[in-house]
Amino acid sequence: MVWHLSSTGNIKSWRGKGRIELPAGGKTLINVGSVGQPRDLCPDACYAICDPQARWVEFRRVDYDIAKARRKILRAKLPRYVAQRLSLGR
């Protein structure tokens, strides 16, 4: 997600998908999220590239071995729902 607080106090938000042009002025918060704890229904890993001078951020998705990660979670005796969440993306 991206949130922008304008200098007049207005808040605007964007979902973290593709390239987002960032407004000038105010303050911007960018949350890429974390691999293995998706909340947006997409199980892929997410990362972002940001160019603050050009005022854009681009979110990118990549596959990773979810089955392997699930096995490691279960072997570590972590809660089962943590392993299940990886495939569901939520």
59 SS3 class = strand
Range of the domain at 59: 2-34+44-88
Residue 50 falls within a domain, yes or no?
Answer: yes
Closest to 21 measured CA to CA, from 50, 55, 48: 55
Residue 68 falls within a domain, yes or no?
Answer: yes
Which residues does 70 contact at the CB level (< 8 Å), separation at least 6? 83, 84, 86, 87
Residue 39 falls within a domain, yes or no?
Answer: no
d(CA 86, CA 69): 8
d(CA 88, CA 90): 5
Split into its structural domains, the chain has a count of 1
Q: What is the pLDDT along the chain (90 residues), one digit of tens a residue?
A: 899 999 999 999 998 889 999 999 999 999 987 766 667 778 888 889 999 999 999 999 888 898 999 999 999 999 998 888 887 766
Residue 28 falls within a domain, yes or no?
Answer: yes
Residue 19 falls within a domain, yes or no?
Answer: yes
